[in-house]
């Protein structure tokens, strides 16, 4: 390609996705993987690719991992896909075409197709799911106040890709809940820094609202049983967020005592 590009990735136990990911980003000039000390074959698979630089860094939060990866990229243009995101042949051709003809924007949103238990979820709030996955690092940074559900800020023009990104999430409910709970734990830390004290509203009303939001307002009922499951798991994760926050306060009080 006429424009050089660095492919960045953060990982932890991604052996099942690693070969597909490396094939998906074979257009990149370098591939930098920031790994949180995986205990599976993630590293073994990754380092077989001559383009890969594999770096281990203790995980503190998603934003810091991503910004660290950005600091290592040799090229201004980067991709930052997740390991569970698949780049279709059509999307790859579109990306290559953009970089062969000089990008017109400083960053690009891509819409995602959400898969749960290998089934395409068409509703449940996933209809308009999008993320910036290609951008100039000189004009972009992940917001430091977000430990999870990272937000990238771009000081420039942002375009949209035409083709969608396949987002292969979880094969079962427990995997999904475990991931949501890991997010809830980080979100609880964010809320503690803001000084939020959880109340009945947070313990009961917010989880109930989250369920209704996903199942009714976001049309999850049109996804049938899977839509119900997704709404239920998100409600549980919200309840757990405030349980984790309460635990943080309890531990602080114990230390003071």
N- to C-terminal Cα separation, the chain: 62
pLDDT tens digit sequence for 103-129: 999 999 999 999 999 999 999 999 889
Measured between alpha carbons, how far is 19 from 90 in angstroms, rounded to an integer?
19
Alpha-carbon distance of 7 to 4, in angstroms, equals 10
| pLDDT tens for each residue of 130-167 | 999 999 999 998 988 776 778 899 999 999 999 999 99
What is the distance between the alpha carbons of residues 141 and 160, in angstroms, rounded to a whole number?
A: 18
List the chain domain ranges.
5-169, 172-256
Among candidate residues 184, 204, 188, the one with its CA nearest the CA of residue 196: 188
pLDDT, position 254: 85
Compute CA distances 95 → 27, 50, 99, 130, 213, whole Å: 9, 22, 6, 16, 34
Q: What is the pLDDT of residue 257?
A: 61
Q: Which fold has domain 5-169?
A: Spore Coat Polysaccharide Biosynthesis Protein SpsA; Chain A (3.90.550)
Q: What are the backbone angles phi and psi of residue 89, rounded to the nearest 5°?
A: -60, -40
Rounded to 10 deg, the angle between the 224-256 and 173-193 helix axes is 40
Q: What is the chain's pLDDT, residue by residue, as a tens digit (257 residues)?
A: 779 999 999 999 999 999 999 999 999 999 999 999 999 999 999 999 999 999 999 999 899 999 999 999 999 999 999 999 999 999 999 999 999 998 999 999 999 999 999 999 999 999 889 999 999 999 998 988 776 778 899 999 999 999 999 999 888 999 999 989 999 999 999 999 999 999 999 999 999 999 999 999 999 999 999 999 999 999 999 999 999 999 999 999 888 76
Residue 10 CB coordination number (10 Å) = 21
Output the CA torsion 4→5→6→8 (10° steps).
Answer: 180
């Amino acid at each position: 390609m006429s424009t050089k590009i660095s492919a960045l990735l953060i990982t932890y136990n991604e052996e099942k996705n690693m070969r597909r990911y490396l094939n998906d980003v074979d257009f990149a000039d370098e591939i930098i993987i920031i790994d949180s000390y995986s205990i599976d074959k993630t590293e073994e698979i990754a380092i077989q690719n001559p383009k890969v630089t594999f770096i281990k860094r203790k995980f503190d939060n998603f934003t810091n991992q991503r910004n660290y990866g950005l600091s290592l990229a040799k090229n201004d243009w980067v991709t930052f896909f997740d390991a569970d995101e698949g780049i279709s042949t059509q999307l790859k051709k579109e990306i290559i075409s953009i970089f062969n003809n000089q990008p017109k924007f400083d960053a690009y949103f891509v819409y995602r197709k959400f898969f749960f238990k290998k089934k395409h979820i068409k509703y449940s709030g996933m209809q308009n799911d999008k993320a910036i996955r290609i951008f100039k690092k000189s004009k972009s940074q992940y917001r430091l106040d977000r430990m999870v559900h990272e937000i990238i800020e771009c000081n420039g023009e942002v375009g949209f890709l035409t083709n969608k990104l396949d987002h292969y999430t979880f094969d079962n409910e427990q995997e999904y809940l475990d991931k949501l709970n890991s997010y809830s734990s980080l979100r609880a830390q964010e809320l503690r820094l803001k000084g939020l004290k959880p109340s009945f509203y947070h313990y009961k009303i917010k989880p109930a609202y989250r369920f209704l939001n996903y199942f009714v307002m976001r049309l999850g009922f049109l996804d049938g049983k899977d839509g119900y499951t997704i709404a239920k798991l998100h409600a549980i994760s919200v309840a757990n967020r405030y349980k984790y926050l309460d635990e943080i306060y309890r531990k602080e009080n114990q230390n003071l005592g």
